[in-house]
Amino acid sequence: MTRKTGGIPALILDRDGVINEDVGFLWQVERCRFVDGVFDLARHFVARGYLIVVATNQSGIGRGLFTEGDFRRLMDHIQAEFRRQQAPIAAIYHAPEHPTEGIGRYRRDSAWRKPKPGMILAAERDLGLDLSRSWGIGDEMRDVIACREAGVGTLVLLDQSAQAPAQASDHWVMPRLGDVLTLAEGEKAR
Ligand SMILES: [Mg+2]
């Protein structure tokens, strides 16, 4: 496979715990609470020519807890809010399968389910992304691993229990999205 150079950079966001507060298998619009700072962060990147991409495991669908339609309704709500906040979402990828808990056709391994990088590689192909200049943000290590495996340049683990921003081996650990914004603002040369 040849790597595309000169593509478009993206801000690749996990959903639960990054865009909305993670309340566990969320599908109800009325229970959706946005994480502090997510729109400021998204606007910053959009203003610099980045695409906003959402990549989210959603095994709740595969487990039969909610439907594809429920997922789509919540994402419509989230997309509308991002548009209203001047930071439209360019694309949404989700992986409804689960290898052991999935029901029927959903019980299978998927190359899209994080920590596998399938969703991010699909976004790279579909949108012509330059992953080396892209940022990936998640609240679990599987998000970081998926982005790392795909070749995303800047990796951030959002961890509310962290005392202060810190650099791990190849990724940042940040207590708040505001810290990510501060980091991004410091990289004006990118
Ligand atoms: Mg998450």
Every domain of the chain and the residues it spans = 10-185
| pLDDT attached to residue 6 | 77
Residues 6+ apart with CB under 8 A from 60: 25, 27, 66, 71, 96
Tell me the CA–centroid distance for residue 116 and ligand 1, in Å: 14
Q: Is 70 a catalytic residue?
A: no
Tell me the CA–centroid distance for residue 140 and ligand 1, in Å: 6
Q: Long-range CB contacts (< 8 A, 24+ apart) of 159-168?
A: none
Tell me the CA–centroid distance for residue 17 and ligand 1, in Å: 5
Of the residues 16, 139, 143, 179, only one is catalytic, namely: 16
Q: What is the pLDDT of residues 9-67, one digit of tens each?
A: 999 999 999 999 999 999 999 999 999 999 999 999 999 999 999 999 999 999 999 99
Q: What is the pLDDT of residues 111-157, one digit of tens each?
A: 999 999 999 999 999 999 999 999 999 999 999 999 999 999 999 99
Tell me the CA–centroid distance for residue 119 and ligand 1, in Å: 15
Tell me the CA–centroid distance for residue 106 and ligand 1, in Å: 20
User: Do 15 and 56 form a contact (C-beta atoms < 8 A)?
Assistant: yes
| pLDDT attached to residue 187 | 80
Q: Is 14 a catalytic residue?
A: yes
CATH number of 10-185: 3.40.50.1000
Of the residues 14, 130, 139, 143, only one is catalytic, namely: 14
